Structure 1
Amino acid sequence: MSNYSKLKPKKVLFIATRQIGDVLVTTPLISKARELWPDAEFHFLGYRGKLEMLHGNPNISEMIETSDRPKFKEYLSLFNRLFQRYDLAIVTQPSDRAYLYGLVAAFRRVGVLGGHPQGKDVQDSQRRSKSEKQNAWKKFICMHTVDVDYFKQHVIAEKLRLLECFFKNSAELFSKPITVTPPAGEPLSPAIINELKQPFVVVHSGPLTAYKRWPLAFWQELITWLVKKGFQVVLSASPAKQDMQLNQDIISLLDDACKKQVIDAAGKLTIPQAGTLIRSAALYIGVDTSITHLAAACNTPTITLFGATPPTNFGPWPNDFIGEQPYQLRARTQTIGNVTILQGPGECVPCRKAGCLDKADSYSECLDLLEPKQVIEAIEKVLSTQ
């Protein structure tokens, strides 16, 4: 690996063209780059509506938004805006489009390359060969690349390793506490403030895809237990129709007394407002989704339910952890810092497939078998240490 420790770029472009969680996990990378280049100007390119996780981030002076499926006219306008404007582009996603933006924007580039299948059968070998061919041009245009490893390498470490070539000793990357920077908070609306009572627990039941869902009846049992323990429960959710409906389905299962202690905040919070709410909560409980990463970043005790996703790759980062890997691949319960990850039973856990049927609307048996009792035990343990 070449050493570029003497390189001092004046303008740097970070590129993350995916979801809001993928944007949030770039913040340790941005912070570390600021340590390297205290006088550089940092810009960030991402999809429109996905950059709220960077709200108020002191290291980013300009945010550039683009459509996830730009038409030719928008491409042209964006390319004109980016063309050779930067000394360095840091491509944090392995997509062809992200690399194309990096190629247009800067003379030098570093980037993440898509992972190769781990298996040894003929099909896996063919996929690996195809992936290597697809990555060849990306390696050619970069001064340094980092391979994805969905089972052994945490996404935070993956992003930080993009800076390896700028350190004389790359061990420095992981020798200090590593922190995810949440967005600056925004005031909650009076409608929510007037309903809130202390202590409250934020519950986020809606993932982006169905195979990360926990059964409705389990949410009913858990929320009923929380209310009986004296907590108010705030159900957060995105404005997406399926997430708002999920909250309604859960509430419909609760008895009248329990319903009075539940606030449905679905679609009523911006990402910065969600951060404000979570910071004041006694506890956060959620599935494998971006808001769970936000909760961990806000230093709120966070309990998350993981199914197919390897926590070693995308578990919420416990703030101030020192090192490259906080988590074990498989453990029914593991707590590091303020984060507790719960996994269901089964030797196949985690499989990194899209549920048992390997498609977005699949079920996941490991989550269906992760009983409320396991979650309640984790809550009691977390609360006993506060």
Structure 2
Amino acid sequence: MTILSSLKPKKVLFIATRQIGDVLVTTPLISKARELWPDAQFHFLGYRGKLDMLKGNPDISEIIETSDRPDFAQYLSLFNRLFQRYDLAIVTQPSDRAYLYGLVSAFRRVGVLGGHPQGKDSGNTKIEKQNAWKKFISMHNVTVDYFSQHVIAEKLRLLEVFYQNPSDLFKEAISVTPPEGEPLTPLIAGHLNQPYAVLHPGPLTAYKRWPLAYWQQLIEWLVQQGLQVILSASPAKQDLQLNRDILSLLHEQTRNSVIDTAGQLSIPQAGTLLRGAKIYIGIDTSITHLAAACNIPTIALFGATPPSNFGPWPNGFIGEQPYQLRARSQTVGNVTILQGPGECVPCRKAGCEDRADSNSECLDLLEPSQVITAVELALKKQ
């Protein structure tokens, strides 16, 4: 690897053309790049509707939104806007489209390369062919490791080519920058009348779900402890319905202590809600990462996803890897990750049947008592 510590780009484009959580995990990379290049302009390119995690970020001077399914005219307009405007493009996703944007926009590029999800030899030749042109146009690449390398470390390693000693990247505290908050709506703020816990039951895919009856037991226990319960949800129909299904299981007295935000909160408003919470409990999703970034006690329920790759980052951690691949319970900083039993955990498949609508036995066997114990321990530390 050639060290390019003398390079001082004036304009840098960060590219994260994926989901909301993928945008949030680029913020430590942005912060570290700012230390390297204090006078550079930083712009960020991502998908429309996925960039709220950057609201108020002090290091980003311009946000460029694009459609996740652009037509020819949209491509042409974006290319004209980007063409060779930047000294450096930092491509944080391994997709062909992200690399194409990097190629169009900048004189130099560094980027993430895809790997085989299961770490098997089969399919590697195909992946190498897919990666060949990306390596050719890049001055430095980092390959995804879905089991051993944390996604935060993966992004930070994109900068190692600019360090005389790349290990220096991980010798100081690393933190995720949450978005600037926005005021809560009166309908929600007016009902917050006691200490509260925020719960986020709804994932994008069914195989990350925790059973409804378990959420019921957890909520009833939290209310017995004197906490209000705030149910968070995205505006997606399945998330809204999931919250309604949970509420339907609760006794009326318990239900009176539960507020369903019903997908009404923006990401910055969710940040405001989280900052005021006593504790957060949620599944493997972007809001769980946001909760951890807001520095509140965060309980994350993990099934198929390796926490060593995508566990919520504990702010202030020093080093490349906060988590073990497998542990029924592990706490680092303000984050506790819980996993269910099974030698196959984490498999990184789409549930037991390897499809989006599958169940995950490891989450079915992650009992409420284990979650309640973790909540008790986290609350005692406050």
User: TM tier, shorter chain?
Assistant: over 0.9
Q: Deviations over 1:74-123 (max 9, x none)?
A: 00000000000000000000000000000000010000000135555xxx
CA–CA distance in structure 1, aligned partners of residues 297 and 335 of structure 2 = 6
Query: Which residue does the alignment assign to 1:46?
Result: 46
Q: How does 1:207-356 map to 2 (within 5 A)?
A: 207-356=203-352
Within the candidate set 134, 141, 146, 1:138 is matched to: 134
Secondary structure, aligned partner of 2:244:
helix
Code of the aligned partner of 1:369: L
1:357 aligns with 2:337: no
Query: Which residue does the alignment assign to 1:169?
Result: 165
Query: Which residue does the alignment assign to 1:111?
Result: 111
- Structure 2: gaps of 5 or more residues: none
CA–CA distance in structure 2, aligned partners of residues 288 and 369 of structure 1 = 16
Tell me if the contact between 1:110 and 1:145 (Cα under 8 Å) persists in the aligned partners. Answer: yes
Query: Which residue does the alignment assign to 1:4?
Result: 4
1:70 aligns with 2:70: yes
Tell me if the contact between 2:292 and 2:334 (Cα under 8 Å) persists in the aligned partners. Answer: yes
CA RMSD of aligned residues (A): 0.7
CA–CA distance in structure 1, aligned partners of residues 200 and 338 of structure 2 = 15
- Structure 1: gaps of 5 or more residues: none
Give % identity: 78
CA–CA distance in structure 2, aligned partners of residues 198 and 30 of structure 1 = 37
Q: Deviations over 1:4-36 (max 9, x none)?
A: 100000000000000000000000000000000
Q: Deviations over 1:170-200 (max 9, x none)?
A: 0110000000000000000111111012210
CA–CA distance in structure 2, aligned partners of residues 2 and 105 of structure 1 = 23
Q: Deviations over 1:312-349 (max 9, x none)?
A: 00000000000000000000000000000000000000
Tell me if the contact between 1:332 and 1:343 (Cα under 8 Å) persists in the aligned partners. Answer: yes
Secondary structure, aligned partner of 1:13:
strand
> How far did residue 385 of structure 1 move?
1.2
Secondary structure, aligned partner of 1:161:
helix
Code of the aligned partner of 1:347: E
Query: Which residue does the alignment assign to 2:15?
Result: 15
Code of the aligned partner of 1:210: A
Tell me if the contact between 2:117 and 2:146 (Cα under 8 Å) persists in the aligned partners. Answer: no
Tell me if the contact between 1:117 and 1:128 (Cα under 8 Å) persists in the aligned partners. Answer: no
Task: Report the TM-score, using the length of structure 2 for normalisation.
Answer: 0.99
CA–CA distance in structure 2, aligned partners of residues 234 and 4 of structure 1 = 49
Tell me if the contact between 2:184 and 2:272 (Cα under 8 Å) persists in the aligned partners. Answer: yes
Tell me if the contact between 2:117 and 2:348 (Cα under 8 Å) persists in the aligned partners. Answer: no
Within the candidate set 357, 368, 382, 1:372 is matched to: 368
CA–CA distance in structure 2, aligned partners of residues 86 and 306 of structure 1 = 39
